[in-house]
A and B are shown apart, each in its own frame.
Chain A
Amino acid sequence: MEKKPFNDISYEAFLREEKLMGSKCRSCGELFVPPRPICVKCGASEMEWVEMKGVGKLSAFTCIAVGPPFMKQEGYTRDHPYCTGVIQLDEGPRVTARIEDVDTKKPEEIKVGAAMKVKYLHRGEGDRGATFLAFKPV
């Protein structure tokens, strides 16, 4: 694990293993999720991997009725919107994630500030497979 570069490929490889990982600056301790190779707080480049607990709060969200073609393929349409949003992790950083297990036809009932926990969406298989970060209400 120590050898993985602090980049998006590693981040997504960890997601496939159902791990939400960030990088922590060895110099000043600042935490970044997704990982960064350079600390934008102190400028140092020595990082270490840290696993997140996978819990946080909903900071912002939207229920999308007109999505891109890849979401249409997942079955999301004007009559069946999907929710996506921003989660503030308990550890501090904010991440974007799909929001699952909410009623996207009643967005008024989804509340900013709601407690959320991680869920991993595995799509496709083999080399074409990918895992998307999602959160759902606790």
Chain B
Amino acid sequence: MKRPRKLGRGVALVGVGMSKFGMFRDRDSKDLFAEAFRNMIASVDKGADPQDIDALYVGNFSNDFFIHQAHWGPIVSDLIGHVPKPATRTEGACASSALALREGIFAIASGFYDMVLVGGVEEMSKRSTEEVAEGLALATAPYEGRAAFTFPGVFGAVATAYFDRYGASREHLMNVTIKSHNNAALNPRAQIKATIRSMMESKRRRASEKGLPEPTWQDEKEFLRDQDANPVVAWPMHLFDCCPISDGASCALLVGEELARRFTDAPLYVVGMGQGSGSGFHAADDLTTFQATKYAAEEAYSMSGLKPEDVQFSEVHDCFSIAELIHMEDLGFFKPGQAYKAVEEGATRRDGSKPINTSGGLKCKGHPVGATGVAQLMEVWEQLRGEAGERQLPIKGLRIGAAHNLGGTGGTCTFTIFERR
């Protein structure tokens, strides 16, 4: 990076919407995107006319594989009545819609367009778990797939390297999981809207209804250590270390900065953004870091003039519990090898010094991969506008929030910082 990045024209976020995230037999990508689109339009305080949208960018990783349909730009364009205006699909594995966001920002910053719709969609649940593992593994680096790595497997391996290097253990990962569930229980949009404790209670109740012996877990960690309740997926990643399989869509409306107040008195401004690329995780000099995240963060921080400590809260790409630790270190929120201790001390809870994934994260909110990058903006939007309800951060003068998105085994990473002025 030779000089700090800047936008030729400021860009503002004036609306965000998500579909429900979940595993739906009776819903498809189009109807999910339509839901996200309607919710996005409804989120624009002073209203927006969809006819004014100049262009559309939609992220989708692999509906080609999951439902055997490619070329999602025009499909979404047709769906929302946008034809014949331009529609472009972006692909960056699980960061596909963060790339759509960036393309939308560039398109407005260049002066070419004034209003752009960005979003993402993925429809994963109509395949078996094994097929989903195979589909997602298309986004590993070539030799990782050959060695039969799955995504949980890659992050399981990263965890063994992190444990070995820093002395952390599965117990520390459990702290991440418990925190994500505590946040998700307060998020009406979460796919898994339950604390670990409430899940333990319902399992006890079901056992007693069936006349089976009631499990005797003393606390959340004892539940998470129970191989029946929390089976191994790719050791040391267990079920509760992994995000669920999800269908869903997301979208957001971007306009030129000088137009923002026509749409809302509380727009969010893009103040920092970065993107990096990485070799396969195995080829990195250090197996406990993603160089693409570090590069993206460096771009975003230098563009904004902000430091990691200035970011008051962030969504980070917690596809797996270990990933949340690694990203927080790569983004500079904690020093290398310190994130697991900070989580243990409560620093990343809503009442901590650096709240992380207040939405419940990918772990609980759900992770329809192509939709995730833009769906992360939902939490930044609600928190910075004071609309997060029971999850609202108790920080005075909440002004700066960010979102980090990772694709593949660290092949594509983005970091975007927003400001409420």
Contacts and interface: CB of A to CB of B under 8 A. Distances in A.
A and B associate in one complex:
yes
Interface string B137-156: 10000111011111011101
A90 interface: no
A65 B280 CA distance: 22
A69 B233 contact: no
A52 B366 CA distance: 43
B146 A132 contact: yes
Interface residues of B, number: 36
Contact of B280 (A61, A82, A96): A96
Interface string A88-101: 00000011111000
Given A95-B143, A132-B146, A112 B153 contact: no
Interface string A116-138: 00000000000000001100000
Interface stretch (B127-135, B174-182, B198-206, B396-404): B127-135
B148 A67 contact: yes
A62 B153 contact: yes
A70 B133 CA distance: 11
| B interface secondary structure, majority | helix
A5 interface: no
Contacts of A70: 134, 148
Interface string B259-302: 00000000000000000000010110001000000000000000
A78 interface: yes
Given A65-B233, A95-B282, A59 B150 contact: no
A63 B147 CA distance: 12
Contacts of A94: 282-283
Contacts of B223: none
Given A86-B282, A96-B144, A96-B282, A61 B150 contact: no
Nearest to A83: B235
A61 B282 contact: no
Contacts of A62: 149, 152-154, 156-157, 159-160, 234-237
A68 B148 CA distance: 7
B375 interface: no
A54 interface: no
Contact of A113 (B142, B143, B164, B234): B164
Given A60-B158, A62-B153, A96-B144, A68 B234 contact: no
B134 A69 contact: yes
Given A82-B148, A96-B147, A64 B130 contact: no
B107 to A, nearest CB: 32
| Most chain A Cβ neighbours within 10 Å, of B154, B160, B280 | B160
B42 interface: no
Contacts of B129: 66
Contacts of B157: 60-62, 84-86
A58 B233 CA distance: 21
B36 to A, nearest CB: 29
Contacts of A82: 148
A82 B394 CA distance: 46
A19 interface: no
B164 A66 contact: no
Nearest to A77: B130
A34 to B, nearest CB: 6
B389 interface: no
A34 B147 contact: no
Contacts of A61: 156-157, 160
A68 B137 contact: yes
A136 B85 CA distance: 57
A131 B68 CA distance: 30
B233 to A, nearest CB: 5
Contact of B143 (A34, A71, A72): A34
B305 to A, nearest CB: 32
B86 interface: no
A46 interface: no
Interface string A39-67: 00000000000000000000111111111
Given A62-B153, A64-B156, 15 more contacts: A60-B164, A62-B157, A64-B234, A65-B234, A68-B137, A69-B130, A70-B134, A72-B130, A85-B157, A86-B282, A95-B143, A96-B144, A112-B161, A132-B146, A132-B148
5 contacts: A66-B129, A66-B233, A68-B148, A78-B231, A96-B144
